[in-house]
């Protein structure tokens, strides 16, 4: 939202006042409270008929300071509020000091300093505590904190009746020369947000617009800090798009609160952010395997499901999770939790047979929080008050968008959440192991009354995704235990990373949409989410065989991998008329699934690191691993998988690809040939490869070749590979249940320490992995 018309004029429909003077500073426990009139106070008379803005700054914990700006403090501060510090708040000791440089609030590694001449110069600078001159992060300067009305009142008397006036609070933090901004949820546009207007408001808008399913009120700067906006409702940001040298944050209401989070590295910023909003949850090993879906509007029944899985086995691809999408229930009944008896006469028996046969390990079903009027659940839910009501409190809120006469689950009602959990438990009894929590974005904010009358309907719009996924995740944890709960969620807000995992929503079946998806995954990873997936092949449309195969390569290198479409199947033989050659879709899918299976010892160990540190596993933006390389902050067509593997998807039918390698020696995974960075490189790839490079000083553990499925013994008959490794290089090991079993470390003279945890006839390769079995793939790679 823009409040000005260029540099000199206020926008037509706005009235704006700015904090001009820091009239008074009061020391509070762990912080400061600043009284800021909206004009400079030169005489007593200047204090009359004048608004003030209070700026409260508090040391939150080491490296983090909260900033809250308030106009009228008597306004109700309705929820919902983000549940901060879910694992406990760290100890804090804010220290206030004064010097010739001003008044400083220090919170461990981060400080805020107020200009000594604060009556005449509005200047609050955020900087590293140990060296303010070299670790300047951002600041609040003149005309950077303010309030606004819309439409513009012509007299202060008009504010006696606020029913026809909107009131906003805003701040503008400075952008340094060359500074870039990233994150703000799963955003599919330009990776660097500078120059963009961003509205944080969950919407079902696909992947080809500025709308987002997952709006997260956190952004990361290339200058070594991040900002978390503690507001569950709509947030408007002008990232260098109103004033080119500032990030403006605005909300409707009387107060705006945010936290500035110091790094100085992106990893440290994300770690501290995860302390504030929660670390990602752990996911089980089986979830990393290949997921196969029925797709959305396709026709399928019990025979179709069995046929798909048998066809995949015949073509040498193991499916770990089978997903029943919407039409496991009858049309017009979603979501009533009842299998279509005509299509699936005995789902429990079928699921048991599929698992017993080894065709699949786990089963997932699709749900959403909308309860269709014609389904078996609606009458009961409406009678018991489990559905959202209209504002008058009597009528159930309904509309015909998506499902005829659908109502919306009111998860602010504990009884409604308990009933919904009971419905899920019946699915678990049938054999369901995971839940796809679709939708949750189209949440009304007008003419509604929630069961919890203390919540603001506008704030509930985004926050609903948190409540919805929390209820389902808790039900899964209750049934299957910690570390075994898995969602496949589309909607999210800040904190939802605690309920993994998320996927990218409705993308088209094009190379451009695949690139959009890469940008979305990168941005979500920089918003505190560890695990992410995508609809392999694209959701909308029928992918051309080359698109499918390129997307398979990309999708099997995401943390989680699912084949899913809209009106067409994604089993490979339907894409290319069952081409069984080495370049066909079936062989391509088999190769990439096998590669991910071999990577499981590395992936599962790296997943634990990601959870501990609040980092993305894959897609991990290059700037996380290489923050001192300026180029890394602009790379949006490649990513890291954990800390040691670099992947660059191919978006071209002929296989041409250009990518960047940071400083160091990098080894091609497929050939063991090396390149030296920093620099840009061009290659040409067949469908069995892409630029996949191993970082120097890596000790990489690979599973035994030929194993089917993601779950196996990650210490047995493995291949231990060194890549320009030096003494001290190490690799963690976890077993298939997630338990740490040890660490391999490279000692002097290439001696491998900790190898006693390895079982069977494992192999040790000191110059990259054995590549003989991939000779055909290696020959298909051209360095240009």
Element (H, E) at 478: helix 457-480
Task: DSSP for 735-754, please give it.
Answer: -TTS-EEEEEEE-GGG-EET
Name the E strands within 201-350. Answer: 215-221, 225-229, 235-239, 246-252, 255-262, 290-293, 321-324
Residue 506 annotated in active site: yes
Six token digits for residue 499: 């309920």
3-state secondary structure of 701: strand
Burial annotation 140-163 (CB, 10 A radius, 16+ → b, else e): bbebbbbbbbbeeeeeeeeeeeee
3-state secondary structure of 723: strand
680 φ, ψ to 5°?
-95, 145
Q: CB of 222 within 8 A of CB of 177?
A: no
Cα 512 to Cα 42, 538, 569, distances in angstroms: 59, 10, 21
What is residue 489's DSSP assignment?
B
Residue 652 annotated in active site: no
Q: CB of 138 within 8 A of CB of 239?
A: no
d(CA 36, CA 118): 10
Task: DSSP for 408-424, please give it.
Answer: EB-TTSHHHHHHHHHHH
d(CA 31, CA 465): 33
What is residue 44's DSSP assignment?
G
Six token digits for residue 615: 């980092």
d(CA 736, CA 718): 14
In sequence order, the 6+-apart residues with CB closer than 8 A to the CB of 346 are none
Six token digits for residue 253: 């209401």
3-state secondary structure of 563: strand
Select which of 320, 441, 484, 535 is catalytic: 441
Select which of 21, 123, 230, 506 is catalytic: 506
Q: CB of 739 within 8 A of CB of 696?
A: no
291 φ, ψ to 5°?
-100, 135
Q: CB of 262 within 8 A of CB of 227?
A: no
The side-by-side arrangement of strands in the sheet containing 763-765 is 698-702, 719-723, 763-765
Q: CB of 283 within 8 A of CB of 531?
A: yes
What is residue 279's DSSP assignment?
P
Q: CB of 51 within 8 A of CB of 147?
A: yes
Of 269, 268, 251, 252, the residue nearest 260 (C-alpha): 269
Six token digits for residue 337: 């939790």
Q: CB of 100 within 8 A of CB of 116?
A: yes
3-state secondary structure of 7: coil
Residue 117 annotated in active site: no
Select which of 179, 438, 458, 516 is catalytic: 438
Cα-Cα-Cα-Cα dihedral sign, residues 71, 75, 79, 81: positive
Q: CB of 507 within 8 A of CB of 206?
A: yes
Q: CB of 340 within 8 A of CB of 331?
A: no
Q: CB of 292 within 8 A of CB of 322?
A: yes
Element (H, E) at 426: helix 414-430
Q: CB of 257 within 8 A of CB of 231?
A: yes
Cα 616 to Cα 69, 464, 506, 579, 696, distances in angstroms: 32, 23, 21, 36, 21
Residues with active-site annotation: 438, 441, 506
């Amino acid at each position: 939202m823009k409040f000005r018309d260029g540099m000199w004029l206020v926008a037509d429909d706005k009235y704006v006042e700015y904090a001009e003077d820091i009239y008074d500073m009061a020391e509070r426990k762990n912080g400061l409270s600043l009284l800021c009139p909206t004009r400079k106070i030169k005489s007593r008379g200047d204090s009359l008929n004048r608004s003030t803005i209070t700026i409260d700054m508090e040391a939150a914990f080491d490296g983090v300071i909260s900033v809250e700006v308030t106009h009228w403090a008597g306004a109700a501060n309705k929820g919902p509020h983000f549940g901060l510090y879910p694992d406990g708040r760290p100890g804090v000791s804010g220290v206030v000091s004064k010097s010739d440089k001003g008044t400083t609030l220090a919170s461990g590694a981060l400080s805020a300093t107020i200009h000594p001449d604060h009556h005449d110069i509005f200047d609050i600078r955020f900087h590293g505590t140990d060296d303010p001159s070299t670790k300047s992060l951002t600041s609040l300067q003149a005309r950077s904190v303010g309030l606004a009305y819309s439409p513009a009142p012509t007299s202060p008397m008009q504010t006696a009746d606020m029913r026809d006036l909107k009131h906003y609070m805003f701040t503008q933090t400075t952008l340094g020369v060359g500074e870039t901004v990233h994150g703000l949820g799963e955003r599919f546009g330009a990776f660097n947000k500078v120059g963009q207007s961003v509205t944080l408001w969950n919407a079902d808008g696909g992947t080809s617009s500025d709308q987002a399913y997952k709006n997260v009120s956190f952004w990361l700067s290339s200058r070594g800090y991040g900002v978390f906006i503690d507001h569950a409702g709509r947030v408007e940001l002008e990232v260098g798009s109103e004033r080119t040298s500032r990030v403006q944050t605005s909300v409707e209401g009387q107060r705006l609160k945010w936290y500035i989070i110091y790094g100085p590295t992106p990893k440290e910023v994300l770690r501290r952010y995860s302390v504030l909003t929660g670390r990602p949850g752990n996911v089980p090993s089986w979830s990393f395997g290949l997921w196969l879906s029925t797709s959305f509007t396709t026709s399928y029944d019990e025979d179709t499901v069995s046929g798909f899985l048998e066809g995949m086995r015949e073509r040498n691809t193991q499916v770990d999770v089978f997903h029943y999408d919407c039409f496991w229930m009858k049309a017009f009944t979603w979501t009533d939790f009842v299998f279509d008896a005509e299509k699936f006469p005995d789902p429990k028996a079928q699921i048991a047979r599929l698992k017993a046969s080894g065709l699949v390990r786990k089963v997932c079903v699709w749900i959403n929080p909308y309860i269709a009027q014609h389904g078996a659940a609606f009458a009961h839910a409406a009678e018991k008050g489990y559905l959202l009501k209209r504002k008058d409190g009597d009528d159930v809120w309904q509309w015909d968008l998506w499902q005829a006469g659908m109502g919306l689950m009111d998860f602010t009602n504990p009884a409604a959440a308990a009933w919904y959990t009971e419905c899920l438990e019946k699915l678990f009894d049938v054999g369901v192991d995971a839940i796809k929590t679709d939708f949750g974005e189209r949440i009304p904010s007008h003419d509604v009354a929630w069961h919890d009358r203390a919540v603001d309907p506008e704030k509930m719009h985004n926050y609903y995704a948190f409540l919805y996924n929390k209820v389902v995740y808790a039900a899964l944890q209750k049934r299957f235990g910690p570390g075994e709960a898995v969602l496949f969620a589309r909607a999210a807000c800040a904190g939802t990373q605690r309920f993994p995992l998320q996927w990218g929503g409705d993308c088209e079946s094009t190379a451009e949409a695949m690139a959009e998806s890469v940008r979305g995954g990168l941005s979500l990873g920089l918003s505190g989410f560890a695990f992410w997936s995508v609809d392999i092949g694209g959701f909308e449309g029928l992918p051309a065989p080359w698109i499918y195969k390129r997307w398979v390569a990309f999708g099997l290198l995401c943390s989680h991998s699912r084949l899913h479409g809209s009106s067409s199947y994604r089993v490979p033989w339907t894409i290319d008329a069952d081409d069984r050659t080495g370049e066909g879709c079936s062989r391509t899918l088999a190769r990439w699934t096998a590669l991910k299976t071999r990577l499981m010892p590395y992936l599962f160990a790296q997943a634990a690191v990601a959870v501990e540190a609040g980092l993305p596993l894959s897609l991990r933006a290059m700037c996380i691993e290489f923050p001192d390389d300026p180029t890394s902050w602009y790379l949006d067509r490649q990513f890291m998988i954990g800390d040691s593997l670099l992947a660059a998807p191919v978006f071209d039918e002929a296989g041409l690809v250009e990518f960047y390698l940071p400083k160091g020696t990098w080894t091609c995974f497929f050939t063991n040939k090396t390149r030296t960075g920093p620099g840009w490189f061009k290659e040409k790839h067949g469908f069995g490869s892409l630029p996949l490079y191993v970082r120097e000083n890596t000790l990489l553990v690979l599973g035994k070749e030929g194993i089917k499925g993601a779950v196996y013994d990650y210490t047995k008959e493995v291949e231990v590979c060194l890549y320009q490794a030096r003494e001290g290089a190490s690799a963690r090991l976890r077993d298939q249940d997630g338990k740490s079993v040890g660490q391999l470390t490279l000692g002097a003279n290439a001696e491998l320490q900790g190898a006693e945890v390895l079982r069977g006839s494992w192999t040790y390769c000191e110059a990259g992995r054995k590549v003989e079995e991939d000779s055909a793939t290696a020959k298909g790679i051209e360095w240009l």
